[in-house]
Structure 1
Amino acid sequence: MNCTQEDILESTADHIRNLLAGDSSGHDWHHIERVWKTAVTIGRGESADLFVVQLAALLHDIADWKFHGGDEEAGPRAARAWMDRFGIDEPTIEHVCDIIASLSFKGAGVATPMCTIEGQCVQDADRLDAIGAVGIGRAFAYGGHKGRAMYDPAVPPTPHDSFGAYKKNAGPTLNHFYEKLLLLKDRMNTSVGRQLAAERHRFMEQFLEQFLAEWNGQR
């Protein structure tokens, strides 16, 4: 198939928009679109290959392990199948698939290094969408989708030391802030990512203070 990069990106955006229509877990098209836009903004400042950045951002949740029985290879496999139809060169396909495979947070005790600047841009953009006001909304949307309690003081947060343990987690949504969301600020790769994360992190801290005060009848 003889397509320009612009054609490929437009077709990919349309495909993902249709694929994720109706999602209520916080992993919908609007999440993808925000990550896409933020990744491009970061990528421009980092002189990254914007074609790779955009493909990886658009395809990063094409088959999220959380919705595919914990299969970590589902995303890269689906992304490759999609890119193959356009005749994209193998190094680009490999690069995008590597980014998707390495993107996710895998537990407080698990390092998730991203080897290329393109991957770092997409990883930062995805993590930025997990924190701040939107991140709070997405956390509770996902918790509701999975039937989890908002908060249970009797169930403490768990700092997972392996991806397997993290995948099995089914604790209350508020625990997720301590197990993941509050850790993301210090895991940003780029200067723009760190700058944006600092403000969103402060907002989450304020939210948690207010939430716990209300929960305990103090406000």
Structure 2
Amino acid sequence: MFQAKAFAPFEKLAAALVPHSSEGDDGSHDVAHVLRVFKNAMRIQAVEGGDARILAAAVLLHDCVAVEKNSPMRSKASALAAAKASAVLAKLGWASDDITAVAHAIVAHSFSANVTPETLEARILQDADRLDAIGMVGAGRCFYIGGRMSSALYDPFDPAGSNRELDDRCYVIDHFQTKLFKLADGFQTKAGRALAATRDQRLRDFLAAFMDEI
């Protein structure tokens, strides 16, 4: 059951926007993901500053268009989400400058879009979303997405990819090397980088334990 109070102090905004926040059945980009990113964003904003209302709206709508990870449209997902978010906020009577700010943060949050975040709110959203891709939650989401894509857990004869090209569409743990271990170096805010360092180490410890077991 949706509980707006989980998004305090933006309960009213969440009640209006959460019905638009996700679509489809992707459990790695559902309301639970939105709430985790919201908590990350508010934690960073408390240190870094920025317009919390703009940030909250951007968080709530950052994944409002669903595009599977293996879709050729994946790099367009954040732009599609920004367009939908703009329409939703316009219907709620938001000012055009505020809508533009939210839309930019949404477009720039995506790793695959490769758009530079130009505002503090955009930098915070990018950091908050990427925090959910590393650490233990990130590991769980990685395996979940691999299952959706029918990927194997690992290459049984060369799990570390020492003598082959890494392929994260075929093998889940290849994604740690091809993307997840690269994320911590790209965080935009000081507060985000501090949180990322802890989660990155957890992710590396997880993979080391996984490799030991196999």
* Cα distance in 1 between the residues matched to 2:51 and 2:125: 11
Residue of structure 1 in register with 2:171 after alignment: 172
* Equivalences for residues 134-153 of structure 1 within 5 A: 134-152=137-155, 153=158
Q: What stretches of structure 1 move > 4 A for 4+ residues in a row?
A: 19-22
Contact preservation (8 Å) 1:35, 1:129: yes
Deviation at 1:106, TM superposition (A): 2.3
Equivalent residue in structure 2 for 1:102, among 98, 108, 113: 108
Contact preservation (8 Å) 2:151, 2:169: yes
* Equivalences for residues 1-219 of structure 1 within 5 A: 7-16=12-21, 19-20=22-23, 22-24=25-27, 26-66=28-68, 70=73, 72=76, 73-106=79-112, 112-152=115-155, 153=158, 156-157=165-166, 170-215=169-214
Q: How large is the Cα RMSD of the aligned pairs?
A: 2.3
Alignment CA distance shift 1:20-1:114 (3 Å): same
* Cα distance in 2 between the residues matched to 1:8 and 1:69: 33
Provide the TM-score with structure 1 as the length reference: 0.80
Identity %: 33
* Cα distance in 1 between the residues matched to 2:52 and 2:211: 42
* Cα distance in 2 between the residues matched to 1:81 and 1:210: 46
* Cα distance in 2 between the residues matched to 1:175 and 1:104: 20
Structure 1: where are the runs of 5+ without partners? Answer: 159-168
Alignment CA distance shift 1:7-1:203 (3 Å): closer
Contact preservation (8 Å) 2:20, 2:61: no
When structure 1 is superposed on structure 2, of 59-68 and 202-211 the one drifting more is 59-68
* Cα distance in 1 between the residues matched to 2:31 and 2:130: 16
* Cα distance in 1 between the residues matched to 2:97 and 2:68: 27
Larger relative contact order (CA 8 Å, sep ≥ 6): 1
* Cα distance in 2 between the residues matched to 1:120 and 1:180: 19
Deviation at 1:14, TM superposition (A): 4.2
* Cα distance in 1 between the residues matched to 2:130 and 2:66: 15
* Cα distance in 1 between the residues matched to 2:87 and 2:72: 19
* Cα distance in 2 between the residues matched to 1:177 and 1:171: 13
Contact preservation (8 Å) 1:20, 1:29: no
